[in-house]
Structure 1
Amino acid sequence: MTSGQVNQSSAVPQQFKLLPKIINGGIAGIIGVSVVFPLDLVKTRLQNQVIGPKGEKMYSSMFDCFKKTYKAEGYFGMYKGSGVNILLITPEKAIKLTANDMFRHYLSTGPGEPLPLVREMLAGGSAGACQIIITTPMELLKIQMQDAGRVAAAAKSEGKTLPKISAWSLATDLFKKRGILGLYQGTGATALRDVTFSVIYFPLFARLNNLGPKREDGSSVFWCSFLAGCVAGSSAALFVNPFDVIKTRLQAINKAPGEPTYNGVLDCIGKTLKNEGPTAFFKGGACRMIVIAPLFGIAQTVYYLGVAEYLMGLK
């Protein structure tokens, strides 16, 4: 049973099994991230890139960023930051997908009754809020690792050399300087992005998924869940891309020479509009859509397949 289907079956409260859903969410996250991570790295670098006063920029397009990153850093350079992302994506996706199912379950108006749109949005938004405790530090560390090559290249062009970094050294340094709050830089922007995304994504996924063919037990066929996840994910991703740009810039601790610093969400919005115009908020938008579509398509499909239930002998 996929996320978004719990309340459209004849399930009763005692049938909501939390543990297998958490395991399925974790497996879904690992597989999805492993597939799309290079695209996510390109997205981060494009969003952090600031156009110079004469229109100069390091990357002219998504494909140019791919080519230059691969040439300078090799295949494994495309996976910088993947370790911390894969480590933390398990609880992050588990929380997101499971929380949505749980909230939908308890917001149900009755067995077999479709969930009203407002309640679907409430369930999705609540799930997005729950994941922030994991998402914020994960994104913070991932972004530093993903953007390290771009920052190092910019510094090198000015005759400077930056020391190599690791996720562990970054985490310990932030913890020593600011305590646990150091790992939660950009929490407000992360919440703005993830809550809004979930409010849009989960109701849209549920409705698209319900349009497809059903199996004898009432569940959707796997390819329908995959396509619904792709369409809902890419649509929600494009809508919240401005929030993602703000979050990425606020969480970029190491800046390239000459790049501005920001003091919160409003300061970032103001400086970005002034220096680069409104189109800057859609930097990396196409790339993010390409990342999110298969990520959530894969995640929903794996979640639907019920690997955990099979391993635990529940079906």
Structure 2
Amino acid sequence: MDRGDFLVSLTAGGLAGVCVDLILFPLDTVKTRLQSPQGFKKAGGFRGIYAGVPSTAVGSFPNAAAFFATYEFTKATLRKDASPYLSPFTHMLAASLGEVVACLIRVPSEVVKQRAQVSPSSSTLRILTNTVCEEGILGLYRGYKSTVLREIPFSLVQFPLWESLKDLWSWKQGHVVDSWQSAVCGAFAGGFAAAVTTPLDVAKTRIMLAKTGSRTASGNVLSALHQVWRTQGISGLFAGVVPRISAISLGGFIFLGMYDKIRRLLL
């Protein structure tokens, strides 16, 4: 992968990420409040639906750019000597590495954003300051492990499925898929991946929102899942599944379609 391709992936991923995160922010707020320990109403209900948006605005571009730059670089490197039959595994590994790198930027932004979403009366800056004062810089990385454990399975489903659907559509019509067709494939792949990984998303939200020093705040994903299962059952594990599927399906449509379109314009 040459420097030009790398910069194109960086720019296309970053711009696509900013657009999606800002457009779908209200759905993300509803999902977070449905998953919060205090419940939807006490977390703010439909009030202050854009609470935490500055954190997303700042973190979105570098987060998405880091993911796609890593994804495309890894994919290009692995494809040099790989058999075509190994293509799905190439996409899986590339997506997994992309998530590990992107989460270094995503998690601090996500911690501040989610705390602001369930405390709409507090400003994003105040939440950032309080987090650093009470927990130090590592407090901004609470939930890093649970976020990676959510994102890797999500990417293992979404990206190979997206690439496979594009290949299938391309084979049927005899030419490379258009950007809107890539977007449709992205919507389906994202929605399916969102549904099956919702329990991991619930665990991540609980860990990020837990009181400092509590058992949940320690970051043990299995412990968080067990606590939700014990108190709320299967419905608790899939809290927020509808807005999550809606947001990620729409996000997949816009994000992956726009990413494809911007890449083609820049290359």
Query: TM-score, normalising length from structure 2?
Result: 0.88
Aligned equivalent of 2:116: 145
Could you tell which deviates more after superposition, 108-117 or 266-275?
108-117
1:142: how far off?
A: 0.8
1:191: how far off?
A: 1.1
1:186 aligns with 2:174: no
1:104–1:115 contact (8 Å) kept in structure 2 = no
Q: Paired residue for 1:220, among 169, 177, 197?
A: 177
2:55–2:110 contact (8 Å) kept in structure 1 = no
1:114: how far off?
A: 6.3
Aligned equivalent of 1:128: 99
Residues 217 and 18 (structure 1), Cα distance of their counterparts in 2 relative to 1, 3 Å cut: farther
Name the SS for the 1:277 alignment partner: helix
Aligned equivalent of 2:254: 298
Residues 94 and 218 (structure 1), Cα distance of their counterparts in 2 relative to 1, 3 Å cut: farther
1:88: how far off?
A: 0.5
Q: Paired residue for 2:31, among 22, 25, 43?
A: 43
Sequence identity percentage: 27
Aligned equivalent of 2:224: 268
Deviations 1:200-238 (A, max 9, x none): 111111001122248x99642011111011011111111
Instruction: Provide structure 2 residue ranges, at least 5 long, that are not aligned to the other structure.
Output: none
Greater RCO, CA 8 A, separation 6+: 1
Q: How does 1:174-253 map to 2 (within 5 A)?
A: 174-213=131-170, 219-253=176-210
Residues 237 and 206 (structure 1), Cα distance of their counterparts in 2 relative to 1, 3 Å cut: same
Paired residues, number: 263
Query: TM-score, normalising length from structure 1?
Result: 0.75
Instruction: Provide structure 1 residue ranges, at least 5 long, that are not aligned to the other structure.
Output: 1-12, 52-56, 60-64, 150-163
Deviations 1:91-144 (A, max 9, x none): 111112222111111110449946532222111111111111011111111101
Q: Which amino acid aligns with 1:287?
A: P
For 2:106 and 2:156, the matched residues in 1 are separated by 16
1:128–1:197 contact (8 Å) kept in structure 2 = no
Name the SS for the 1:283 alignment partner: coil
Aligned equivalent of 2:18: 30
Could you tell which deviates more after superposition, 217-226 or 292-301?
217-226
1:84 aligns with 2:55: yes
- Structure (1 or 2) with the larger CA radius of gyration: 1
2:71–2:95 contact (8 Å) kept in structure 1 = yes
2:199–2:225 contact (8 Å) kept in structure 1 = no
1:213–1:224 contact (8 Å) kept in structure 2 = no
For 1:120 and 1:195, the matched residues in 2 are separated by 12
Q: Which amino acid aligns with 2:50?
A: Y
For 2:211 and 2:135, the matched residues in 1 are separated by 16
For 2:37 and 2:139, the matched residues in 1 are separated by 24
Aligned equivalent of 2:240: 284
1:14: how far off?
A: 3.6
For 1:143 and 1:130, the matched residues in 2 are separated by 20
For 1:29 and 1:203, the matched residues in 2 are separated by 19
Name the SS for the 2:119 alignment partner: helix
Could you tell which deviates more after superposition, 228-237 or 89-98?
89-98
